[in-house]
Amino acid sequence: MKAVLSVIAAFVLILGAPLSVIVLVTTVGSPAVAEEHRIVTCEGALPATGDWRAPYESAYTVTSGFGHRFHPIHKEWRLHAGVDLVSQPPGGKVVAASAGTVTAAQFSSGGGNTVTIEHGGGISTRYLHLAHPSSLSVGDQVHIGQQVGIEGSTGDSTGSHLHFEVHSGGEPIDPVPFMLERGAPLNGVAVTPSPPPWEGSLPPWVPELPEDGEGGLGFELPPAGEPRQDSLQNPPLTIPPQIRSLYEAAAAEHNIPWTLLAGIGMAETAHGRNIATSSAGAQGLMQFMPATFAAYGIDGDGDGIADIHNDADSIFSAGNYLLAAGLTNGPQGVRDALFAYNHADWYVNDVLHYAHAYGGGLVVGSPVHCEGGTGNPDLPPVTSERVRTMLEFAAAQDGDAYILGATGPDAWDCSSLTQTAMAAIGISAPRTAQAQRDWLASGNGFRVPVDQAQPGDLFFFDSYLGPHTIGHVGFVWDPTTLTSIEAANPTKGVGFFGYQHALDNNIFEIWRLGNISDNPTPQH
């Protein structure tokens, strides 16, 4: 039977838009357009980036939602005052969804082993059916992510799970929209451990980031592994002051750890002490092959010339090349970028050994990494109704502040806004702009030409991380006027702007989200 193309058109009028913009959302697809495909997951777990997080570190499924349901044990209709979550595998660690004070830690016939945490402002959370009595006591102060207990099946329960409740003013409310509004959607995705505040967490965000930067996440340089070679015989040398200043200037330009550039400089030429052309033809302080420098060489000292033998140009170009090779794609991305620089495992470990000897550092990027691809053009596009929901959420944040690293509810950076808008329709995306683009390209969406953009498409372009790395993301609002809804920068905040200014960037791409979903529909 021939596929019949259907055109679904929905007019979305969102109050508060400039000039009372009316957006026409048109989705063209096959009869499978209503089918929700499961999301393509990526490496790693999402970090907790705000004051709230999911009550698990492991992946989990949502098995029953908030509302009245027929009780499986008592065989009568009752209010199910929370959501039921099952860790993968079952029996996982249960953690505090936010910091607070324990107000109850007890056993009840219905809830089994239960812990209640007061978070202030009349908000409390409850954790039921824990496997064992919690080690927490009334009055204990807990930090976000602190262990509350182990998932179990105590009390009135038919299997291992966590019954998770949120109370406001003493009354139970639906945890799903509550957590979503706080940047912690209950979408089943694993969330990395939250370190105790006294141990220190990742720096809030690198202060040198420019004001129009994305912010978002960071991760520490990975440790050196085995094998190592030259670093076993050659200890890290002192860095000449003028060379260190260039490492630091290039690192500030590219927002990468200066110690990583120093590690390469030590491994290649001992910071310029052995600067002769190599037997393979590599030249300059950072030992570029001429062909590679022709592609990635940049003018580091501002004299208008990119010179392979100029120390500043060589060091700045090394940072440019590392970003182009995927440095920000998690710890493995660091190793992959160094391997691209010199194809040897021992070289990667030598550089990381030297980098840590000089102090290590934070890489601005997402620890969750998707292998980029070309997307899936056969994937049904996200439906018009779901586009409407995303855009309504984004537009509702009009006038909010832009703060690097913020995840709502009153301040955002570019990728936290798009991430949370997608979470509003049950889709979990990575945290940073580059990672979101690669996640779409890995099979959760498909690229479309600029002149075929539709409302709800995501646009990406390079910004503060250099010409080979995506640093900004926003939603297409009205493609006829190139209008966007986005968290632009600290000066503009969140609002309706435009993307015409970025069309001539080295990277400018538009991607359409597929009709995908994280979890099966909860059973009530």
pLDDT tens per residue across span 459-510? 999 887 678 788 899 999 999 999 999 999 888 999 999 999 999 999 999 9
Q: Which residue has the higher pLDDT, 233 or 50?
A: 233
Amino acid identity of residue 408, one-letter, is: G
Q: What is the mean pLDDT of residues 32-51?
A: 72
CATH fold for the domain made of 218-364: Lysozyme (1.10.530)
Helix 258-269 to helix 241-254 angle (10° resolution) is 130
Span(s) in the chain for CATH 2.70.70.10: 60-181
CATH number of 6-39+369-517: 3.90.1720.10
Q: What gap in Å lies between CA 493 and CA 483, rounded to an integer?
A: 15
User: What count of other Cβ atoms lies within 10 Å of the Cβ of residue 7?
Assistant: 9
**In the chain, pLDDT over 90 holds for what percent of residues?**
60
- CA-CA-CA-CA dihedral for 155, 157, 158, 159, to nearest 10: -90
Q: What is the pLDDT, as a whole number, of residue 386?
A: 95
**How much is the average pLDDT of 95-111?**
94
Which of 71-85, 191-205, 476-490 is the most confident on average? 476-490
Contacts of 79 (CB under 8 A, 6+ apart): 67, 68, 172
Please list the residue range(s) of the chain that carry CATH number 3.90.1720.10. Answer: 6-39+369-517
Backbone angles phi, psi at 125, to 5 degrees: -125, 150
| Rounded CA separation 343/499 (Å) | 39
**Strand segments (E) across 253-400:** 362-364
- 190, two tokens: 């694993």
Q: Which residues pair with 6 in a beta bridge?
A: 29
pLDDT at residue 475, rounded to an integer: 98
Question: Is pLDDT above 60 for 5?
Answer: no
Q: How many CB atoms lie within 10 A of CB 313?
A: 27
pLDDT at 99: 94
Looking at residue 18, what is its pLDDT?
41
Position 202 confidence tier, pLDDT thresholds 50, 70, 90: very low
CATH 2.70.70.10 fits 60-181, yes or no: yes
How many Cβ atoms from other residues are within 10 Å of residue 169's Cβ? 9
Q: What is the pLDDT of residue 308?
A: 97
Q: What is the pLDDT of residue 514?
A: 95
Q: Is the confidence at residue 517, as pLDDT, over 80?
A: yes
Higher-scoring residue by pLDDT: 14, 385: 385
State mean pLDDT over 421-431. 88
Instruction: Give start-end residues of each CATH 1.10.530.10 domain in the chain.
Output: 218-364
Q: Is it the case that residue 23 has pLDDT exceeding 50? A: no
Q: What is the spatial distance between Cα 160 and Cα 87, in angstroms, rounded to a whole number?
A: 9
193 pLDDT higher than 80: yes
More confident residue, 370 or 287: 287
In this structure, of 143-157, 177-191, 335-349, 375-389, the range with the lowest mean pLDDT score is 177-191
Q: Kindly list the distances between the CA atom of residue 61 and the CA atoms of 92, 140, 281, 363, in Å, as whole numbers in the listed order.
A: 12, 29, 55, 31
